[in-house]
Amino acid sequence: MKKIKTAPFLPTEVEIDEISGTKAQVVAYPFENGYAVTLAHPLRRLLLGSSIGYAPISLKIEGAKHEFDSIRGMHEDIALFIINLKSIRFRIREEMDDRAKVSYSFKGPKKVMAGDLNNDTVEVINSDVTLATLNEDAELNFTMEIARGIGYVPSEDLREEVESDAIALDAFFTPVRKANYSIENVLVEDNPDYEKIVFDIETDGQITPVEAFSNALKTMSQQLSVFGNILNLDLSMSNGAKNSGGGELKSFIVPIDTLGLSARSFNSLERAGIKYLGELVMMSEKELKDIRNLGSRSLAEIQQVLSERGFGEDFILDEETRSALSKKIEQLKE
């Protein structure tokens, strides 16, 4: 006879096996029957659809007007050159930069390899890919733009974003090559109906599988934050909110990784040591602007998030609440 429950069993075990720099297995258990697939399926979709990677989005080759052209002395035509280029996996060295433009010049005879594209701006992950083969009288000069993004963006959608004389390229950003899961039964207190999730993740090397999994978890948390007000957080606090014992401070003690911020904005705040919404509420516009590497676009995004949660320009935090909030955040950070 089954026991009456008032809440589902909470899983307690997580095991991570980093098989290599590009392969890992993540195991979590035990879940109530049916809960494992409920969590595993959306996490798999987020691994494949929201993991951030880098890809070339435009190309300009000296002496070539379009992708069906050719370069004298280069064995590959431009179409094959582009195919080779898109198979190279890049990483922008400065993490805060969303885009980077790099130029190269090669003279034959030479077999141009992916590793030859390494420089102070970009890093090549798979350096052994052949890009082009040049005869002794050939010269190859080209400029490409690499962008940071998620998913797949066809060249048609990028034509307005790149320079008019550049060739727009299909951009396959996703760094996750494989994200599979299996559900296994596990025994808990003589009950064999509990479940275990086993994730098998493989990336192309731009990020590690564990980083990809962590990003997927963060994205899921950010997406679910839209329901935060249902959790009795009272996010629409009126101006001059009072604090009688700490209960009303809940609306401020919200982790910034649940605010739905872009990775760029989140990373800037995290590096500045900011962990909670309340810290942003207590900061003036000047203090926000002074956060290192926080650009105007990120500032506007943060101000919009604050406004949507009832903490816009006209919000006034009384001194009593400010003092109580500061103490509470200090305690949480200890």
Could you report the per-residue pLDDT of 9-21, keeping only the tens digit for each? 888 899 999 999 9
Rounded (5°) CA angle 121-126-127? 75
Q: 241 and 196, same structural domain?
A: no
pLDDT tens-digit map of 52-68: 999 999 999 999 988 89
Q: In the predicted model, is pLDDT for residue 92 greater than 90?
A: yes
Q: 265 and 131, same structural domain?
A: no
Q: Is residue 170 part of a domain?
A: no
**pLDDT score, position 232:** 41
The stretch 37-48 carries a mean pLDDT of: 95
Pairing relation of β-strands 152-153 and 171-172?
Answer: antiparallel
Which CATH number do you get for residue 125? 2.170.120.12
**pLDDT score, position 34:** 92
Q: 269 and 183, same structural domain?
A: no
Q: 217 and 139, same structural domain?
A: no
The domain boundary residue, chosen from 104, 126, 147: 147
The domain boundary residue, chosen from 147, 166, 184: 147
Q: 141 and 67, same structural domain?
A: yes
Cα–Cα distances (Å) from 296 to 113, 261, 293, 305, in that order, read 38, 14, 10, 14
pLDDT tens-digit map of 108-121: 899 999 999 999 99
**pLDDT score, position 240:** 42
Rounded (5°) CA angle 114-119-122? 75
User: Which of the residue ranges 139-153, 216-230, 316-330 would you say has the lowest mean pLDDT?
Assistant: 216-230
Q: Is residue 212 part of a domain?
A: yes
**pLDDT score, position 263:** 78
Instruction: Report how far residue 93's alpha carbon sits from residue 102's, in angstroms, rounded to the nearest whole number.
Output: 12
Q: Is residue 125 part of a domain?
A: yes
Residue 106 domain boundaries: 61-147
Q: 269 and 313, same structural domain?
A: yes
Q: 35 and 184, same structural domain?
A: yes
Q: Rounded to the nearest 5°, which phi and psi values hold at 187?
A: -90, 130
**pLDDT score, position 16:** 95
**pLDDT score, position 243:** 38
Q: Is residue 298 part of a domain?
A: yes
Q: 255 and 314, same structural domain?
A: yes
When divided into structural domains, the chain yields a total of 3
Asked whether the CA dihedral 184, 176, 97, 304 is positive or negative, the reply is: negative
Closest by CA to 95, choosing from 217, 270, 221, 301, is 270
Which CATH number do you get for residue 39? 3.30.1360.10
pLDDT more than 70, % of the chain: 93
pLDDT tens-digit map of 255-266: 888 888 887 888
**pLDDT score, position 62:** 94
Contact 287, 311 (CB under 8 A): no
Query: In which residue are the tokens 């103490």 written?
Result: 327
Q: Is residue 162 part of a domain?
A: no
Q: Is residue 256 part of a domain?
A: yes
Instruction: Report how far residue 62's alpha carbon sits from residue 167's, in angstroms, rounded to the nearest whole number.
Output: 12
Q: Is residue 317 part of a domain?
A: yes
What's the chain's average pLDDT? Answer: 87
Q: Is residue 321 part of a domain?
A: yes
Q: 325 and 275, same structural domain?
A: yes
pLDDT tens-digit map of 200-251: 999 999 999 999 999 999 888 888 877 765 654 444 444 444 433 344 677 7
The domain boundary residue, chosen from 225, 249, 282: 225
Q: Which residue has the higher pLDDT, 152 or 316?
A: 152
